[in-house]
Amino acid sequence: VVQDEGAAPLAELKASRSLKALTVRVGSNQVQAAGAHRLATLGESKSLEKVILDLTGNVIGTDGALALVGMKESPTLRVLKLDLTRLCVGSGNEAELQALAASTATCAFTLNIAQTHMGPEY
């Protein structure tokens, strides 16, 4: 399970001065909110220009989803693709997530939230 500790080595890649692109695919139910927040710090990288995160079927919660979508405001990223298909974000937060996703991005931004479960978080 990629909790905070499991995501830490991936998040540390943001310190690389030569890494330009990163693709991370993590299977269902392996990433939780703390891990999503840690992965969102990749947006602080000084060198990363392209990040693709496929977290299909993970229960990262609303805060985790919002943190990841917030990466689209990174000053260095040129491309950000988030696949949050079959995500559980919790009830009543769909509007907040969609509003943030629709706001202006500083990079080419793609968000897939098809079949996202907007019910109670588990």
In the DSSP assignment, the letter for residue 6 is H
Classify burial at 30, counting beta carbons within 10 Å of its beta carbon; exposed 0-12, middle 13-18, buried 19 or more: middle
Tell me which residue of 76, 78, 67 sits closest to 101, measured CA to CA.
67
Residues 50-104 have pLDDT tens digits of 999 998 888 787 788 888 989 999 999 999 999 887 776 555 566 777 777 788 8
What single DSSP character describes residue 7? H
Contact 41, 11 (CB under 8 A): yes
**Which tokens in the block code for residue 16?**
């690389």
In this prediction the pTM is 0.82
